[in-house]
Structure 1
């Protein structure tokens, strides 16, 4: 049915009509956007290199937010405007800027941006993406830091080639956790499996024998038994939390026997010899020799004493070694409690002695860089590459590379750890300092001249967007539309000092109640980075990124659904007060349970909004670790809101047509037109989104009291959602009966 807002129309309101009204709702081209977004999410850093500035979580596709902005402001149709350079005078805000997608896409099209996030790491990475930089000077500065770092600790990452005996560069050191056997008291290695490399990127499979401490290679189909002692290498000695001692055979729960923190043993090295690698089939592996173990002791001694040539002079205008290495305790939390269960109590324990030494020296070197802009850029590189320089990294036996700590959104504690070469080997491997310098440079090059990527005959083709740039002046107060500046804040959005009726649009991706624990994860980087930046930026003078204003549920900290709802409402209300009369407030969200939308419906109603559209847009990659093999959705619902009095004054509001089922059917058809077949999880999420949108419209047309207790407001929304959801279920039952009775029209169930 066509929804009416006549009952909410104030007598003094001016009618809204014309081609420019409700542009976003009319012009958003769902099939076009879906095709773009699905391609982007396959290799997001290729389509949007700007995201390589620094790790952030659950980034939404830039193509979706570019399309939302262009649908609202461009005069051309989206399919034409998308590939062109654009320039609009507007102020666009994002109260939950996270990884900065809204800020980047707004600045690209010439608008000024207001971005806000309570997390200092989010604030910092967006600032670094936006702040202009001389790329040639940055590359020079990065190379100078690399050369100094390499001169101090490079020898610790050398090994003897087993083929030619000459010095070679180590790519990765592989470590295994150990603990004392409660039966015999001897240290036993905790191997979930003995395989080091699969026979995909290496001609043979590589296994380690824990009894003989040697690496051996086997062809496909060969029996996996140690040639020296006969040990079966086909499976490890640890499984489902239990370990069998390799000496006495005692089986025990290893988590109960581990030390605090767990001990590790070096058992394998992958290296690359400059003299014979080119003639060697596959990769080069070796068991550590006496000199490798000597270098380990040398690094531990230097770390412990803070002495030696590598450390000499480090504190002059920089950081003393001990001051550069964080000694912060790991606080309790939903994610950090996992570290506690494994015996880790301080962040520095997540790093080997050699890693602590190298990272401490590198932090001191960067702190000495005189040019502020270069120092900040290199500090950002340092922070980002930490995720590849710790004892929670794992070695991918298929791809033969290091997996970073945040390849899943948590603190995964594996039994086998991968230690990366810290300075790095230029043009070899990944995850080292020199590689992240170049990654940062590529991201900034894109920021200076962004482009779009399309497919032409199966190959990618870049399309320049002339005149667009992500870099812009970073200012200390709210900018005006023509300023083309960015005002970035590390503060709660509900206290942001905004001018009334100054915002032309708000586009955001608000947190989920059961979202990733951003603060708990980002503290891993923050505790290091604040030792470099505390003198330069107030946001890094606190002990943690955690704050009471963070809007995620957290069982450990006692943050429940009412807390989340209240905080979300305060932000929506603050943004609404600063928005122009007809400005859109659009946000992305997905969940397959309609009850999960209750806080959002409350926030929309408290802010005086009604929902003028719910649009489908891909948000995730189907093969993502978080999606594959589950019933999860890759689709977001994009909620488009306008102020109720503006929508009520519309002469021809493009309100949703028909039932929830009809709306979902239109979404499914749009995705099919983009080449995507919706899954059961997608259907559940789309339905839940449309139920929430209908609940907003239903309650917006009645009496809503934003001053009522939050529990009462949530109850009212929950009742409305349940009523609408029950109607949907009833409609399904009617449809099922019609099918059973044979009452089907043109192969489809009759109208619901």
Structure 2
């Protein structure tokens, strides 16, 4: 049974203006502001600065309540029952709290363990150096090219490919643009449409035996007038033909060139070696979900087909060469290899055409789903320079930089025109892992990680000070489905590190439950919220989370779950969320604000405090988000509502109906 609430600092105050200002900056480059949280790819992370402010709202000591003051939550236990990217855990542990993180997917659990566990940088660096050297020795000869000026053998940086298509006249290669690159000196590298060779102005004589190239906008052959067809009967990686290679010569600098006979010979050797690999093919089978169905629609039924032969050989070697000594070093390196796949698959596109370019690789999940490039980029993960998506670059940015920041976190100050950061005293983004909830209170900064659903938690009743989370939306992107792209490899890299055979339908949002998504979501969230209510302390325990959505169905589903779990709204604050320049929401009807909802167990004698909003402004993200949160509070105060009544109320509110037919007045 939910117990009555008492006052908590965040009940009355939250500096939404300050939070909004910080989040506006952080949204552009979250991984720069919180590098220790970003070892592995995950989706839908919220701004760490916002969650720091939320947690600061739980600090009782006034001298520690400032955003820039260190600590303040020593002795407190914070739970995130749907931890995803781990933002709550990292922010709470910095403030001295002990934390519990729960997720059904193993990737969030492994990432939190790797990044929150203290390890000397020297140990991580030594492990990486040995690992990288072994990989380079085993497969580096397959990623070599030659300088077009001096003919010196050099590491391949990346290769560009065109997509094979056919018509009645034969095959063509389709690219995004015939222009490959605008050079700094004003010249333009472009592919010849008649033979496929790269040319840089001047007189060009087509090579014999070349291949025709067309841009993606040309869908029909100009000769036979028939549409080009993709070679869907061919393995995905073999649907592409190499058109350019890039490298860097110490004497002549960066170069791009058409592949010569040696480049093709190396690729042929890699293809031959691919056939000898002992990777368990069945373990990489695509299981169709809301997002992975996009693969099956292109006749891709196995994740192995998404990688070039060179990339596959690299992964096979990585599985066998991960160090066995320190399990945390092994975990970090296994996650590093896995997250590198986002930049090292044949789903990567090329974005290096423009003069002002931030790297050449358009990563696999640039659009929060599977997209299939015309100009594909085969990256070399073993390229020795710190280039985009290479192991060297990722190790530095995700591990070295992340751990340095974790040892001495900094926060942005808003004074002045130039970005400035200040150290936060007495904080660290590391802790000590424990195996039971009872051990959390023994000292600050302990963490418990559970790979499970939060419908039943191994936590004592009334033992948690606050639940701070970012719950999934009932129609949100299927992160569990997308993460299978990494999970099939992590299962081979780190077979004993997690329960890889877990029940994916246990997630509140599940591809396997799509046919009854609303009902499953409400049932799951109701049970989770009831568990949150059970474990929260009666003396000021709070459930705090962020939420936004346009649709009444989403708000109704959330409201039903909270209502049935016995929560009421204490306060709500509206802050900046995702910036519309984010690739996955640009040109979409996306809200740019979050509601921070502060909930408490609903007492039996609660007085009404929320007035029903008269209108909801669908043209203003801030006003819409704020009014929806207010309406949520009002609905939760109404007695004896059924799920159907709650749905009717939300439909009436957001669809503009005057008669809600619910029998509830304002």
TM-score, scaled to structure 1 = 0.80
Question: 8 Å contact 1:83–1:452 — kept in the other structure?
Answer: no
Which of the numbers 524, 535, 542 marks the counterpart of 2:485? 524
* In structure 2, distance between residues paired with 1:14 and 1:237: 66
Rounded Cα–Cα distance in structure 2 between residues aligned with 1:364 and 1:388: 21
Q: Paired residue for 1:100?
A: 86
Does 1:189 pair with 2:150?
no
Residue 267 of structure 2: which of 268, 291, 296 is its match? 296
For residue 195 of structure 2, the aligned residue among 201, 207, 212 is 212
Matches within 5 A, 1:433-444: 433-439=391-397, 440-444=399-403
Equivalent residue for 1:594, pick from 534, 548, 552: 552
Q: Which residue of 2 aligns with 1:432?
A: 390
Select 2:229's aligned residue among 228, 239, 254: 254
What residue number does 1:53 align with?
39
Instruction: State the secondary structure of the residue aligned to 1:239.
Output: coil
SS of match in other structure, 1:177: strand
1:721 has 2:650 as partner: yes
CA distance in 2 between partners of 1:118 and 1:660 (Å): 37
Contact in 1 for aligned 2:187/2:201 (Cα 8 Å): yes
CA distance in 2, matches of 1:424, 1:54: 20
Instruction: List gaps (5 residues or longer) in structure 1.
Output: 1-9, 220-224, 278-282, 306-320, 666-677, 705-712, 731-751
Single out whichever of 627-636 and 113-122 deviates more from structure 2. 627-636
Question: 1:102 Cα deviation (Å)?
Answer: 0.7
Structure 2 match to 1:710: none
Shift of 1:326: 7.2
Distance 2:614 2:349 in 1: 45
Superposed displacement of residue 643, structure 1: 0.9
Q: Which residue of 2 aligns with 1:271?
A: 247
Kept in 1, the 8 Å contact 2:61–2:72? The answer is no
Give runs of aligned pairs for residues 79-228 of structure 1, distance below 5 A.
80-181=66-167, 183-184=168-169, 186-199=170-183, 203-218=186-201, 228=206
- Deviation by residue 1:232-280 (Cα, 9 ceiling, x = unmatched): x99934438x3427xx544225247653435210001121111211xxx
Checking the alignment, whether the CA contact within 8 Å between 1:611 and 1:641 is kept in structure 2 is yes
In structure 2, the residue matched to 1:318 is: none
Tell me the SS of whatever aligns to 1:293. helix
In 2, Cα distance between equivalents of 1:270 and 1:682: 46
How do residues 415-564 of structure 1 correspond to structure 2 at under 5 angstroms?
415-427=374-386, 429-439=387-397, 440-478=399-437, 479-484=439-444, 485-534=446-495, 536-540=496-500, 542=501, 547-552=504-509, 554=511, 557-564=514-521
Counterpart CA distance in 1 for 2:653 and 2:283 is: 53
Deviation at 1:151, TM superposition (A): 1.7
| Deviation per residue, 1:472-524 (Å, 9 max, x gap) | 11111114445331111110001211100001000110001111111111111
Q: Tell me if structure 1 keeps the 8 A contact 2:144–2:153.
A: yes
TM-score (ref. length: structure 2): 0.90
* Closer/same/farther in 2, CA of residues 37 and 234 from structure 1, 3 Å limit: farther
User: Post-superposition shift, 1:146?
Assistant: 1.1
CA offset at residue 623 of structure 1? Answer: 1.1
Shift of the 331–498 alpha-carbon distance from structure 1 to 2, 3 Å rule, reads: same
Tell me the number of residue pairs that the alignment of Structure 1 and Structure 2 aligns.
Answer: 648
Q: Whole-Å Cα distance in 1 between the matches of residues 485 and 383 of structure 2?
A: 21
Q: 1:520, 1:680 → 2: CA distance?
A: 32
Aligned to 1:660: 613
2:606 and 2:601 map into 1 onto residues whose CA distance is: 10
Question: Quick check: 2:64–2:70 contact (8 Å CA) kept in 1?
Answer: no
CA distance in 2, matches of 1:164, 1:69: 59
Which is further off, 546-555 or 265-274?
546-555
Inter-CA distance 679–568: structure 2 relative to 1 (3 Å threshold)? same
- Maintained 8 Å contact 2:235/2:300: yes
Distance 2:64 2:544 in 1: 17
When residues 496 and 513 of structure 1 are mapped into structure 2, their CA distance, relative to the original with a 3 A threshold, is same
SS at match of 2:259: coil
User: Does structure 2 conserve the Cα–Cα contact (< 8 Å) formed by 1:553 and 1:561?
Assistant: no
1:672 alignment partner in structure 2: none
Residues 235/611 of structure 1: CA separation in 2 closer, same or farther (3 Å cut): farther
Relative distance call for 1:160 and 1:546 in structure 2 (3 A) is: farther
Change (3 A) 1:167 1:202: farther
What is residue 15 of structure 2 aligned with on the other side? 29
Q: Residues 198 and 460 of structure 1: is their aligned pair in 2 closer, same or farther, counting only changes over 3 Å?
A: same
Q: Give the Cα separation in 2 of the matches to 1:377 and 1:207.
A: 41
8 Å contact kept, 2:192–2:213: no
CA distance in 2, matches of 1:559, 1:109: 40
Taking only aligned residues, the RMSD between alpha carbons, in angstroms, comes to: 3.0
Query: Are the counterparts in 2 of residues 115 and 488 from structure 1 also a CA contact under 8 Å?
Result: yes
Q: CA deviation at 1:609?
A: 0.8
Cα distance in 2 between the residues matched to 1:15 and 1:352: 58
When residues 83 and 40 of structure 1 are mapped into structure 2, their CA distance, relative to the original with a 3 A threshold, is: farther
In the TM superposition, what is the alpha-carbon distance from 1:153 to its structure 2 partner?
Answer: 1.8
Q: CA deviation at 1:119?
A: 0.7
TM-superposed CA distance for 1:77, in Å, is 7.7
Q: Once the 2 structures are TM-superposed, how far is the Cα of residue 167 of structure 1 from its aligned partner?
A: 2.1
Q: Greater CA deviation, 441-450 or 468-477?
A: 441-450
Looking at structure 1, the residues matched to 319 and 553 of structure 2 have their Cα atoms a distance apart, in angstroms, of: 47
List gaps (5 residues or longer) in structure 2: 660-665
Alpha-carbon shift at residue 621 of structure 1 (Å): 1.8
Distance 1:243 1:555, change over 3 A: farther
In structure 2, distance between residues paired with 1:446 and 1:159? 37
Q: In the alignment, is residue 406 of structure 1 matched against residue 365 of structure 2?
A: yes
Q: Is the 8 A contact 1:695 1:721 kept in 2?
A: no
CA distance, structure 1, for counterparts of residue 319 and residue 299 of structure 2: 27
Counterparts of 1:483 and 1:257 in 2: how far apart (Å)? 58
Greater alpha carbon shift after TM alignment, 255-264 vs 86-95: 255-264
Name the CA distance, whole Å, in 2 between partners of 1:381 and 1:48.
Answer: 17
Distance 2:478 2:127 in 1: 34
Secondary structure of 2:509's counterpart equals coil
Match in the other structure for 2:624: 684
2:610 maps to 1:610: no
SS of 1:425 mapped into structure 2: coil
| Pairs within 5 Å for 1:696-735 | 696-697=636-637, 699=638, 702-703=639-640, 713-725=642-654
In the other structure, the counterpart of 2:256 is: 285
| Maintained 8 Å contact 1:91/1:505 | yes
Query: Does the 8 Å contact 1:595/1:718 carry over to 2?
Result: yes
Match of 1:329 in 2: 285
1:572-624 deviation line (CA, Å, top 9, x unaligned): 00110111112111111111223321111111112211111121011212311
